C-alpha cells in the first residue's frame, strides 16, 4: 500500500499498542516517571517533560491549504474567464478569515504539583502528572486510575455506548488519540452535486468556445477587422458563462444547512446537503451515535398500573399533592433521594428539561422528572 505524503499510516494506527503501565505496581510506575503518588511532579520536572514530549494535545487533521483551493478555482472552469471577480472574492475571503472567531481552548484539569492541587491547562499535562477527576469533569488525557469509587465515564462520543462505563484501578488504558487519528483519516469521494456541476461546466465551456470561435471565423470572413472579430469571440464566450451559478448553489446549500442546524443537525460539508434528500435508511451500530445520550422518563409503574408521563420539552406540570397516592409519593421520593445527579449552578431561569446536569444519564432523567413533578429536589434533599 502506498502511503501518501504527509498522511498517517492507517496500518500503524491499527497495530496493537504494547505497554505495561496498567500492569506494573504503582510504586514502580511512579519511579519510572519520577513522580510521587502524594505530591505529584515537581514544577521543574514537569517543565522538563513538557519540553521533551511536547504539549498534551491532538494534532489537528491536515487540510488542503487555502492557496491551493484558490489556484484551483482561479485556473479551472468559469473562473478562468472571470479572474477579476475571483480576485475580488479572494480579497473578501481574506477579510473574513482575519475576522473569524476561533473557539476557546481553556480546558482546565486539577493536577497535584509540589504537593498541592492546582488548576492547569490540559495542554500542559505531562507524563507522570497526578490528576484528580470529579463528577462532571472531562477526562483530560489517557490516565491510569490510582484510586476510584464507583467511577464511570461517558464514552458515547467515541464508541457510541449510551451507558456510562465503569472504570477502576485495574482497567485498561484508553487511547483517545488513536481513535481520533483513525476517525480523521477517512477519505471521501466527489459528491453527486460536485460531479454534476463539473460536468455542466465542461459542457457550457465547450459550447461557449465553439460559438465564440464560430462567430470569430464568420466575422473575419465577412471582412471585419481582426480586433473586432476578437471582441466578438470574447463577448460570446463571456455571455455564455453563468456567473451566478456558484453563488446561487452556495447560497441554496447554506440556507438548507442553516435550517438543518435549527433542527440540531450540523452539516460540515455543504455538498452533502444535496445527497440527504435521497437518504432512505441510516444504519448505525450503537445507540448514542446519532442521539444526544439524553434519557427521559416516559412511564411509571406502581400499584399494578402503568402511568404515562409527559415527555414534551415544556412538560413541567406539577401534580396535585392531594390526589397523589402514597405509592407514587414514595416512588418519587426514592427517585429524588437515591440519586447522585445534580443540576449545574446558574440555571434557575432555564427550562428544567433543558438544564445541564452532571451524573449518569438515567439518573439525570429521574432528577429532571422529580424536579418537574415533585418540586425543588435540592431543597428536599
Question: Mind listing the pLDDT tens digit for each residue in 82-96?
Answer: 776 667 778 878 887
How far CA 2 is from CA of 7, 61, 63, 260, in Å, comes to 11, 19, 20, 39
pLDDT of residue 222: 87
The last residue of one of the domains, among 184, 206, 221, is 184
Kindly tell me the burial class for residue 368, based on how many C-beta atoms sit within 10 Å of its own C-beta (0-12, 13-18, 19 or more).
Answer: buried
> In this structure, is residue 253 part of a structural domain?
no
CATH code of the domain covering residue 371 = 3.40.1110.10
Contact 267, 260 (CB under 8 A): yes
Overall domain count for the chain: 3
> In this structure, is residue 305 part of a structural domain?
yes
Which of 66-70, 299-303, 308-312, 342-346 shows the lowest per-residue confidence on average (mean pLDDT)?
308-312
Q: Which residue has the higher pLDDT, 204 or 180?
A: 204
Does residue 325 sit in the same domain as residue 217? no
79's CB contacts (< 8 A; 6+ apart) are: 73, 85, 86
Does residue 220 sit in the same domain as residue 152? no
Q: What is the pLDDT of residues 230-263, one digit of tens each?
A: 888 888 888 888 878 888 888 888 888 888 888 7
Does residue 336 sit in the same domain as residue 202? no
> In this structure, is residue 257 part of a structural domain?
no
Farthest-apart Cα atoms in the chain, separation: 104
Confidence of residue 173 (pLDDT cuts 50, 70, 90): very low
Which neighbouring-strand residues pair with 165? 153
Percentage, residues of the chain above pLDDT 70:
75
Give the highest mean pLDDT range of 47-51, 65-69, 70-74, 149-153. 47-51
Q: Which residue has the higher pLDDT, 54 or 188?
A: 54
Separation between Cα atoms, residue 208 and residue 239, nearest integer Å: 8
pLDDT of residue 2: 46
Asked whether the predicted pLDDT for residue 321 surpasses 60, the reply is no
Does residue 31 sit in the same domain as residue 168? yes
Does residue 23 sit in the same domain as residue 147? yes
> In this structure, is residue 326 part of a structural domain?
yes
Separation between Cα atoms, residue 379 and residue 211, nearest integer Å: 81
pLDDT of residue 86: 67
Does residue 202 sit in the same domain as residue 175? no
Q: Catalogue the active-site residues.
A: 285
Which of 184-193, 257-266, 334-343 shows the lowest per-residue confidence on average (mean pLDDT)?
184-193
Does residue 164 sit in the same domain as residue 206? no
Does residue 178 sit in the same domain as residue 198? no
Confidence of residue 289 (pLDDT cuts 50, 70, 90): low
pLDDT of residue 281: 77
Asked whether the predicted pLDDT for residue 50 surpasses 70, the reply is yes
Confidence of residue 226 (pLDDT cuts 50, 70, 90): confident
Does residue 233 sit in the same domain as residue 116? no
> In this structure, is residue 367 part of a structural domain?
yes
Domain carrying residue 312: 299-380
CATH code of the domain covering residue 35 = 2.70.150.10
The last residue of one of the domains, among 184, 202, 224, is 184
pLDDT of residue 1: 44
Does residue 205 sit in the same domain as residue 312? no
What is the average pLDDT across 48-56? 86
3-state class (DSSP) for residue 305: strand
> Phi and psi for 56 in degrees, rounded to 5?
-85, 70
Q: What is the mean pLDDT of the chain?
A: 77
Does residue 157 sit in the same domain as residue 201? no
Contact 275, 254 (CB under 8 A): no
Give which of 137, 142, 145 is closest to 168, Cα–Cα. 145
Does residue 197 sit in the same domain as residue 127? no
> In this structure, is residue 146 part of a structural domain?
yes
Contact 366, 299 (CB under 8 A): no
Q: Which residue has the higher pLDDT, 81 or 361?
A: 361
pLDDT of residue 295: 81
Asked whether the predicted pLDDT for residue 66 surpasses 80, the reply is yes
pLDDT of residue 9: 65
> In this structure, is residue 307 part of a structural domain?
yes
DSSP H helices, the chain, are: 10-14, 26-32, 43-53, 66-74, 83-98, 156-159, 176-184, 192-221, 226-239, 245-261, 272-276, 326-337, 361-373, 377-380
Contact 270, 257 (CB under 8 A): yes
**Alpha-carbon torsion (370, 374, 376, 378), positive or negative:** negative
Q: What is the pLDDT of residues 118-152, one digit of tens each?
A: 888 888 888 888 888 877 777 888 787 787 777 77
pLDDT of residue 128: 85
3-state class (DSSP) for residue 112: strand
Q: What is the pLDDT of residues 352-381, one digit of tens each?
A: 878 888 877 788 888 888 888 777 788 777
The last residue of one of the domains, among 224, 242, 260, is 242
Contact 146, 133 (CB under 8 A): no
DSSP class of 241 = S
> In this structure, is residue 309 part of a structural domain?
yes
Q: What is the pLDDT of residues 187-221, one digit of tens each?
A: 667 777 888 888 888 898 888 889 888 988 888 88
Amino acid at each position: 500500500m502506498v502511503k501518501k505524503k504527509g498522511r498517517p499510516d492507517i496500518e500503524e494506527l491499527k497495530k496493537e499498542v504494547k505497554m505495561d503501565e496498567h500492569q506494573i505496581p504503582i510504586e514502580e510506575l511512579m519511579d519510572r516517571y519520577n513522580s510521587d503518588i502524594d505530591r505529584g511532579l515537581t514544577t521543574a520536572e514537569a517543565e522538563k517533560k513538557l519540553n521533551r514530549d511536547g504539549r498534551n494535545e491532538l494534532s489537528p487533521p491536515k487540510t488542503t491549504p487555502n492557496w491551493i483551493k484558490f489556484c484551483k478555482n482561479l485556473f479551472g472552469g468559469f473562473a478562468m474567464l472571470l479572474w477579476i471577480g475571483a480576485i475580488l472574492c479572494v480579497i473578501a475571503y481574506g477579510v473574513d478569515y482575519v475576522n473569524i472567531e476561533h473557539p476557546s481552548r481553556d480546558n482546565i484539569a486539577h493536577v497535584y504539583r509540589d504537593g498541592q492541587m492546582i488548576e492547569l491547562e490540559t495542554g500542559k499535562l505531562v507524563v507522570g502528572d497526578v490528576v484528580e477527576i470529579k463528577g462532571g469533569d472531562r477526562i483530560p488525557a489517557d490516565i491510569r486510575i490510582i484510586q476510584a469509587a464507583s467511577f464511570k465515564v461517558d464514552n458515547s462520543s467515541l464508541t457510541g455506548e449510551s451507558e456510562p462505563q465503569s472504570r477502576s484501578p485495574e482497567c485498561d488504558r484508553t487511547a483517545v488519540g488513536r481513535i481520533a487519528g483513525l476517525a480523521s483519516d477517512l477519505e471521501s469521494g466527489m459528491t453527486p452535486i460536485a460531479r454534476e456541476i463539473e460536468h455542466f461546466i465542461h459542457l457550457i465551456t465547450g459550447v461557449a468556445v465553439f460559438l465564440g470561435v464560430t462567430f470569430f471565423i464568420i466575422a473575419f470572413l465577412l471582412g471585419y477587422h481582426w480586433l473586432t472579430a476578437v471582441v466578438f469571440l470574447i463577448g460570446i464566450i463571456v455571455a455564455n458563462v453563468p456567473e451566478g451559478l456558484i453563488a446561487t448553489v452556495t447560497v441554496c446549500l447554506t440556507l438548507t444547512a442553516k435550517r438543518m442546524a435549527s433542527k440540531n443537525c450540523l452539516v460540515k460539508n455543504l455538498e452533502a446537503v444535496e445527497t440527504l434528500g435521497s437518504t432512505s435508511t441510516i444504519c448505525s451500530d450503537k445507540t448514542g451515535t446519532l442521539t444526544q445520550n439524553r434519557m427521559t422518563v416516559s412511564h411509571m409503574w406502581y400499584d399494578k398500573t402503568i402511568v404515562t408521563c409527559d415527555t414534551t420539552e415544556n412538560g413541567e406540570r406539577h401534580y396535585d399533592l392531594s390526589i397523589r397516592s402514597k405509592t407514587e409519593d414514595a416512588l418519587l421520593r426514592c427517585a429524588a433521594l437515591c440519586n447522585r445527579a445534580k443540576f449545574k449552578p446558574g440555571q434557575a431561569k432555564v427550562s428544567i428539561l433543558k438544564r445541564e446536569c452532571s451524573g449518569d444519564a438515567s439518573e439525570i432523567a429521574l432528577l429532571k422528572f422529580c424536579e418537574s413533578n415533585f418540586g425543588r429536589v435540592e431543597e428536599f434533599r
